[in-house]
Chains A and B, each alone.
Chain A
Amino acid sequence: MLMLEKRPNPSRGWTIATPLLAVLLTMLFGGILFAALGKNPFETIRSIFFDPLFSEFAFYYRPQLLIKGAPLVLIAIGLSFGFRAGVWNIGAEGQYIMGALFGAGVGLAFYPMESWIVFPLMVIAGAVGGTLWAMIPGVLKVKFGTNEILVSLMLVYVAEQLLASMALGAMRNPEGMGFPGSRNLAQYPSAANLEIISGSGMHWGVVAAFIAVIFAYITLSRHIFGFQVRLSGLSPRAAAFAGVNPARLVLVCLGISGALAGLAGMFEVAGPAGQVSIDFNVGYGFTAIIVAFLGRLHPVGILLAGGLMALTYIGGEIAQSNLGLPGAAIQLLQGMLLFFLLAVDVLTNYRIRLRIMEQT
C-alpha cells in the first residue's frame, strides 16, 4: 500500500522537476488521445511541440510565439501575486476585455488626430480599465466578505456582454458599412501597437511582459510586499500577526492582476487583434491560470510556461490545418497539463512510501 509522508522541508529538486514531469505525462497521454482520434500520435506531438520552433516554416511561427506568449505571461504574472496570497481572481478574462475597451475607447476618441501622446494615454487607460474591473470583486470582498472567485468570474460574462454591446453599438466603425467591430487601430499610426523590430513579433506588449517578469521577480524575492504576499498565502494568521493588513493586500493583489490583464487586453486590441470585435477575447485570461500554476507562481517559471503554452496554441493551429486535429483537442491538452501538474505536485511536499500490509 502506498503511503504519503510529509517532508520536513519541501524538495527543491521536485519543485523544478514536477513541471517537466507534467509536460512529459501530458505528451504521453496526449499521444494516446491523438491516437484515439485516429491521428498519428508522434506526428501530432511533433507538430504541436516542435514544428513551431524547428520546422522549415519556423521563421513564420517564432514571432507568433512572442505575440501569443506576451498576454499569457503578462496576465499570469499578475495572477501569481493573488494566487500566492490566497486571493483567487479568476476573472482575468473580464479584466482583459475591459482593458481593451478602455484602451480602444481612448484611441478611438482621439481618432484621427495624430500625436505621440495617444498611445501612452491608451496604455494608462488599459491599465485603469482592468484595475477598475478587478476592484469590484476586491471592494465587495473587503466590505462585505463576498467570495471573490464567484464575483470575478460573473464579471467575465458581464464584460463579454459589454464587449458585444460596444462592438455593435458605441464603438462600431461608422465607415464599416454596418459590420460589427470598431475601426482598425493598427491602421491608426498614433494608436497602433506596432512591432518594434519588423518581423520579430516584438511589440510593446512583449516589452511590458518582460518588464513585468523582472518587476515580479524583484518584488517577490527582495521586497517586503512580496514577503507579505507569500506569508499571507502560507499562513494568514501569521500574516496578521506580522502586521499585514488583509484588506489592503486583497485590493493590491487584485489591482495588480487587473492592471496587467488590462494592459494585455489593450496591447492586443491595438496590435495583433487591431479592433474591438465580438470575438475579441479568445480565453487568454483562463489559459493564464494554467500558465501561472505551471510556472509554479514563480516569475521565471511563468515566463517559460507562457512560452510553452503559446507553443501549444501555435502548434495546435498547425496540427489543425495540417492533420485536421480538432481545436478542442488542444484545449483538452492544456487542461490535462494542469491536471498532471497538480497531481505530481504532491511529490514536492510528500514522500511516497511503499508499505506492505500486515496480515491480522
Chain B
Amino acid sequence: MSLLTIESLTKAYPGVIANRDVSLEIRVGEIHALLGENGAGKSTLVKAIYGLVKPDSGKMFLNGSSFAPPDPRAARAAGVAMVFQHFSLFDALTVAENISLGLENPPPQSEVAASVRRVSEQYGLPLDPDRTVGDLSAGERQRVEIIRCLLQDPKLLIMDEPTSVLTPQEVGILFETLRKLRSEGTSILYISHKLEEIRALCDVATVLRLGQVVGTCDPRLTSARDMAELMVGSALHVPQKTDKPLGQVTLSVKGLTAPAPHQFGTPLKNISFDVQVGEVLGIGGVAGNGQDELVAALSGEMKVAPHMVTLFGKPIGNLNPNARRALGLCAAPEERNGHAAAPDMSLIENALLTGATRKHLTHRGFLQWDKARDFAEAIITAFDVRAPSATSAARSLSGGNLQKFVIGREIMQAPDVLVINQPTWGVDASAAASIRQAILNLATEGAAVIVISQDLDELMEISDKFAALNDGRLSQLRPAAGLTIEDIGLMLGGAHDMEVAHVDA
C-alpha cells in the first residue's frame, strides 16, 4: 500500500533546477533510501515534502489524498516528521523544551518530560529531559531529534544523513530502532550517500543525479559499485597511494592540554603524537570531540604552552598562526565559509588570507596585489577551481570548488606539515577524489599531513596511521592497514554512554 506518492515534482532556483520531474513512491512500512551526491537535489525534495519549500509544479499524495503542506506545521500535522542533519536544535534550551518546540499541541512541560522518558526506554535511546542540549554529545543530540519525531507518531519519518555524526556502534543501535519502527508500520525516507548502510538497512532505493531520478533499485540485491556509478554517472577515480619510507619526525605534540575555548567547547586532555615526513595521519572521531580545538591548537589560533607543540624540535605552542606558517606549518579548518575563507571577499583576498607569509605577498607591510592575484590564479588553475575569475567573491563558489581553493591554497604554499579538518565535508564525489589525491601527492613530496575527518572510509583510503579522538583525548596511533571497522569502533570509545538497545519487536 502506498503512503506517499510524488508525481513529476519540479523545483527551480535561479540558475539551477534542483528537482526536475521527480516521481517517487514510498510504501507503508518500508525504509526507502534516497541516494545521491551533494547537490543532486535530495535536500530540496525532502524540504518540499516537509513544507519548507514550495514546488513549482508536480503533485504529492499522502494516503491517497492530495498533499501540499504550506509549512512544516502542516506537514507535521499530516504525519510527516524529519530528523535534520544540522540546524535544528537550540543549545541553550533543555531537552524537554527542544522536544516541546517540535510538537504541534504540546502537553505541559512536565508531561513532555515523562513522555521523553517513556519513548527513550521503549526504543533504547537513553536521554535526560532536563539537560541542556548544548552539553550533549552529537549522538545524544540526534536522539533528541529522533524522540521529538517519535512523539508525534509519524507515518513518515525523514532522516537526513543520520549516521554522519555517529560511531559504528551507535549506528548499529540506530538501525535497530529504525527496524523496530518499520515493523510497527512506520515508513522511513532515509537520505544518505553511504552505500553499505543503505544495503544493510533499506528496502528500496531511489537514486537522484543533477535533480533527476536516474534509477530505482533494491539495494539488497544491487552491488555498492553499481549504485555508486548510478549516483555519480561514471566510474570513480580512486586515489592512488604510493608506498614510501617515512622520514624524520616533523611535528611532535606532547601532553597537549587546553581548557574549552567557549561554553560548549571541548577541553583537550593530554594529547601526544608524532608525525613523520611523508606520512598521512588520519584522526577519526565524531564531531564535537575536540576536533576544532585540536586544529586551533595546531594552527596557532589557540595558544598553548610552548613545549606542547614542537616543529622540527622547536617549541611553537605559543606562536601565532603566521609565525607557524613561516616555520612550515599550515592548516585548513573545517568551516569554509567564515573560517578558512572569508565569503564576502574575493579569491585574491582569500589567497592573501593565509598566503601572505610564505608566498611573500607583502613588502614592508604593503600588499602586493599583483603577486596575490598571480597566486590566486595559480591555485585556480592547479586545482581546477570553477570560478568566473579571481575577483569573484568566495561565497559565489560551490562548496566543492571553495574547498578545492582552500586546500589548494595551503598545499601550494609547500608546507612541511599540513593540518586539514574535514577535507571533503559537503563536497561532491569528484572534487573529494581530487582533494584526496592532492593530499597523497603532498605527502609523497615529503610533507607530513594530519587529516581529521568523520568519514572513516576516507581515512582508511588515505592514512598511513590512524588514531581516534574522543572527548578531547587521542587514542594510540595504529597503522591504518589491517584495521577493521570493529577495531576502529573500539578506538572511538564504543557507544559512549549508550546501552545496547533491548528491542522487543
Contacts and interface: CB of A to CB of B under 8 A. Distances in A.
Contact of B366 (A10, A224, A238, A240): A224
Interface stretch (A63-71, A207-215, A229-237, A264-272): A229-237
Interface string B307-349: 0000000000000111101000001010100111111110001
A222 B321 contact: no
Contact of A238 (B353, B365, B369, B395): B353
A243 interface: yes
Interface string A20-37: 000000000000000000
B408 interface: no
A8 B394 CA distance: 9
A241 B320 contact: no
Nearest to A238: B342
Contacts of B393: 8-10
A227 interface: yes
A10 B392 CA distance: 10
Contact of A235 (B70, B339, B354): B339
A360 interface: yes
B352 A227 contact: yes
B43 to A, nearest CB: 17
Size range of the chain A interface in the assembly: 20 to 34
Nearest to A218: B366
A243 B349 contact: no
B14 interface: yes
A111 interface: no
Contacts of A360: 68, 70
A349 to B, nearest CB: 9
A241 B299 contact: yes
A5 B345 contact: no
Contacts of A234: 342-345
B381 to A, nearest CB: 21
B365 A243 contact: no
B14 A225 contact: no
Contacts of B300: 243
Contacts of A9: 392-393, 396
25 contacts: A8-B393, A8-B395, A8-B396, A9-B396, A222-B367, A223-B365, A223-B366, A223-B367, A224-B356, A224-B366, A227-B352, A227-B367, A231-B349, A231-B353, A235-B342, A237-B335, A237-B338, A238-B339, A240-B301, A241-B299, A241-B331, A241-B339, A241-B340, A241-B354, A358-B54
B362 interface: yes
Contacts of B395: 8
Contacts of B362: 224
A240 B352 CA distance: 14
Contacts of A241: 299, 301, 321, 331, 333, 339-340, 353-354
Given A235-B341, A235-B344, A241-B340, 6 more contacts: A8-B396, A10-B393, A222-B366, A230-B345, A238-B353, A243-B321
A238 B341 contact: yes
Nearest first, the 9 closest Cβ-Cβ pairs linking A and B are A8-B396, A243-B322, A235-B342, A243-B321, A237-B339, A238-B342, A235-B338, A9-B393, A234-B344
A77 B54 CA distance: 47
Contacts of B323: 243
